[in-house]
């Protein structure tokens, strides 16, 4: 290869490197830390700043946000900026672990309508009275996994009972579960301080046959599980459910033709 061609090749390699290499610009935002996802984690922003104590006066780095004054309005802006839906939690005390770099913002005061965390008021870049044990975090709605629904059995004999469990990731505990049929008016509601609840349907009849789903309600938003089918059978072949002691009684009652009454 001629010298001129070599130089041209080197130039092209340099241009390609500059185009594809990651070089975060000032104002970027990300969620990091232990257990973080794209839409939940420790809030970190990428900023350029001057350091007059150093010969190299201009720095750029990722840094954290202090939890002083950190609230849902601030989290709302972060979630909006990241296209992650609404804010479910504004977390403090390094919930997602402690960052290691500069503490960028303190006393963040967003109105909630800003499009970027950069637009919110704060004490001034890198001006703070915090430590990394106060790192702020957010949980945005897009991270809320669908609640899951599980049936003790997909099939239950008329007159018996069935246990249905609704659950959601432990991070989102403290909401309300609603068990409902996808058609009809059947609906039961249970608030939960943990991440799951059990609904017991007693004395099941044929109106209970159908598709069920769990809804999870958190900060007025509702999230649906996929539906599952519960079949109510006439046979007394107990494949699931509970209420074994009632089996004989139910058998007698069933012979007398069951009434189709919704008893729940
Ligand atoms: Ca402070
Ligand atoms: Ca605030």
Question: Cα separation of 165 and 167, whole Å?
Answer: 6
Q: For residue 111, how far is its CA from the centre of ligand 2 (angstroms)?
A: 8
Which residue from 168, 154, 159 is spatially nearest to 244, judged by alpha carbons?
159
Cα 130 to averaged position of ligand 1 atoms, centre (Å): 6
Q: What is the pLDDT of residue 247?
A: 39
CA 199 to chain centre: 23
Question: Looking at the CA of 123, which ligand is closest?
Answer: 1
The answer as to whether 264 is a domain residue is no
Contacts of 217 (CB under 8 A, 6+ apart): 175, 176, 177, 178, 223
Distance 64 CA to ligand 1 centre (A): 13
| CATH code where residue 180 lies | 2.60.40.10
Q: CB atoms < 10 A from the CB of 143, how many?
A: 22
Residue 33 and residue 99 in one domain: yes
> How far is the centre of ligand 1, averaged over its atoms, from the C-alpha of 131 (Å)?
10
Which of 84, 116, 142 is the endpoint of a domain? Answer: 142
Give me ligand 2 centre to Cα 77, in Å.
Answer: 11
- 9 within domain boundaries: no
Residues 112 and 159 in one domain: no
Which residue's structure tokens are 């500069």? 102
pLDDT at 52: 63
Regarding whether 87 and 39 lie in a shared domain, the answer is: yes
Q: Which pLDDT value is given to residue 48?
A: 82
The total of structural domains in the chain comes to 2
User: How many A from CA of 84 to the centre of ligand 1?
Assistant: 27
Alpha-carbon dihedral sign for residues 40, 41, 45, 46: negative
- Is residue 181 within 8 Å of 212, Cβ to Cβ? yes
Q: Which of 256, 32, 5, 250 is nearest to 138 (CA)?
A: 32
| Domain membership flag for residue 18 | no
Q: Are strands 221-224 and 87-91 parallel, antiparallel or unpaired?
A: unpaired
Same domain (yes/no): 209, 223: yes
User: Ligand 2 centroid vs 192 CA: distance in angstroms?
Assistant: 28
**Residue 263, Cβ density class (10 Å: 0-12 exposed, 13-18 middle, ≥19 buried):** exposed
Report pLDDT for 54: 60
- List CB contacts of 49: < 8 A, sequence separation 6 or more: 58, 59, 60, 102, 125, 126
Q: Are 123 and 206 within one domain?
A: no
Q: How far is the CA of 16 from the centre of ligand 1 (A)?
A: 44
- What is the dihedral angle through the alpha carbons of 149, 154, 159, 165, rounded to the nearest 10 degrees? -20
Calculate how far, in angstroms, residue 97's C-alpha sits from the geometric centre of ligand 1: 19
Domain ranges, residue 74: 23-142
Half-sphere exposure of 28 (CA within 13 A, CB side): 14
What CATH number does the domain containing 85 carry?
Answer: 3.10.250.10
Q: Write down the pLDDT at residue 23.
A: 43
Residues of the chain with pLDDT under 50: 12-26, 238-241, 243-264
Given a contact cutoff of 8 angstroms between Cβ atoms, the answer to whether 236 and 254 are in contact is yes
In contact, 108 and 67? CB cutoff 8 Å: no
Q: Given 77, 107, 142, which residue is the final one in a domain?
A: 142
Look at residues 117, 142, 167 and tell me which one is the last residue of a structural domain: 142
Q: Does some domain include residue 94? A: yes
């Amino acid at each position: 290869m001629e010298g001129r061609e070599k130089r041209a090749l080197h130039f092209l390699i340099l241009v390609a490197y500059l185009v594809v290499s990651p070089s975060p610009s000032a104002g970027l935002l990300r969620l990091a830390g232990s257990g973080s996802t794209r839409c939940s984690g420790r809030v970190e922003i990428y900023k350029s700043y001057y350091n007059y104590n150093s010969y190299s006066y201009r720095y750029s780095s990722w840094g954290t946000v202090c939890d002083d004054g950190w609230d849902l309005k601030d989290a709302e802006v972060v979630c909006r900026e990241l296209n992650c839906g609404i804010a479910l939690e504004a977390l403090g005390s390094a919930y997602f672990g402690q960052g290691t770099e500069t503490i960028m913002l303190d006393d963040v005061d967003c109105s909630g309508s800003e499009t970027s965390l950069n637009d919110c008021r704060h004490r001034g870049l890198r001006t703070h009275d915090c430590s990394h044990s106060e790192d702020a975090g957010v949980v945005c709605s897009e991270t809320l996994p669908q609640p899951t629904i599980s049936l003790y059995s997909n099939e239950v004999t008329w007159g018996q009972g069935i246990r249905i469990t609704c659950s959601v990731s432990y991070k989102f505990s403290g909401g309300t579960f609603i068990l409902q049929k996808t058609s009809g008016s059947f609906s039961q509601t249970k608030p939960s301080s943990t991440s799951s609840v059990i609904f017991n349907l007693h004395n099941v009849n044929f109106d209970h046959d159908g598709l069920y789903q769990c809804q999870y309600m958190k900060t007025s938003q509702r999230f649906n599980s996929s539906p599952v089918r519960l079949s109510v059978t006439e046979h007394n072949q107990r494949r699931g459910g509970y209420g074994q002691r009632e089996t004989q009684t139910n058998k007698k009652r069933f012979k007398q033709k069951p009434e189709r009454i919704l008893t729940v």
